[in-house]
Each structure stands twice: as structure tokens, then as C-alpha cells.
Amino acid sequence: MTDTEEPNDHVDLVLAQWDRQCPGLDTSPMAVIGRLKRLARLLDAELRPAFAEFGLDAPSFDMLATLRRSDPPHTLTPAQLMQAAMVTSGAISQRLDRLEGGGLVSRTRSATDARVVHVALTAQGQALIDRALPAHVANENRLLAAFDTAQRAALADTLRTLLLSLGDKAPADGGRGAGQRHA
């Protein structure tokens, strides 16, 4: 490799193969989408061990983090959690069952409407997420070490533009309830 030649990643190999098999086909979208998909898998694999140090998996961390960043008393309905986590009601129920069984969240019926359930962090759940969060952020910093501050900001802006173009907008309430995913 020369000084001016850039290293190849897996997506470069795929693009070169398509170029040989279908010359003239514009595969440039694959350069972006393919890398985003590969990054998502690689990042998930890198995040998993940090969550496991605290006895959590990514969905459990996500639920606890969503509750923690909501306004005190850190209580949301399952519907608000479902919206924030973008998962089905069945998945929310399973996650909440596991977290409640571990003493990390509690579920109570609304005093004014018995159909409404409130999910709250327990003291144990808050203590756990308050310990896990700095480790998670440190891990994310490690994963982004290839970028300086300006590059991180530019990448974040670019990804925001893509997300917005695909309809991923913040909730109308400004996230005062469930907020955004843990990132």
C-alpha cells in the first residue's frame, strides 16, 4: 500500500465485486448503507460487554436509562417506554418483568385510572444506572477515539440529517416524558 492509498474495509471489497459484476451500476448508496449496517453490528458487539459488567443487556440498560433521564420521579407508562424504545408491547412487558423481578423497577396502577400503569425506577435501579452510565459513556468515547471533537460533531450532524430525512423526529412534547434512546 502506498502513502496515498487508503486502506480497504469490507464494504470496499463488496463494491469492487459489484463493479466487476455490474459495471456502470451506481453502487454508491451501498458505501453508506453497508457501512452503517456493519457499524451497527460492530458497535452492538462492543457495547454488550460493558452492559454485562453491570448484569445488564442493551434492552435492560435502555429501559433503565430511559426512566433515569425522565423528569423526577423517573416514572413513565409502558406506552411511553415503548415509544422511546421503539419496540412492541410484548417486548416491553418481558423487559419490565425481568427488571421488576430484579428489583430495578416497580409497577403501580394509577390512582385515578386503573387502566394506567406507572413504571418507576427503584432506589436499586437508580443506583445501578447511575453506576453503569459513566462506564457506558467511557466505552462510547473509546469507540469514537478515531475522531476528534470536530469530526464527531460533523458526523453527528450528518447522521441527524439522514435520520430526519427518514422521519425520525423528536416527540412533540420535546421528550419531557420518555425522551430519546440512550444512544
pLDDT at 82 over 80: yes
- At 9, the amino acid letter reads D
Residue ranges covered by each domain of the chain: 8-52, 55-183
Output the nine-digit C-alpha cell for 60: 435492560
- Arithmetic mean of pLDDT over the chain: 89
SS3 174: coil
Is residue 178 within 8 A of residue 83, CB to CB? The reply is: yes
pLDDT at 178 over 50: no
On whether the pTM is more than 0.85, the answer is: no
CATH number of the domain at 55-183, please? Answer: 1.10.10.10
- What does the pLDDT read at residue 117? 92
**Distance, CA of 45 to CA of 153 (rounded, Å):** 24
The per-residue pLDDT for range 120-136, each reduced to its tens digit, is: 999 999 999 999 999 99
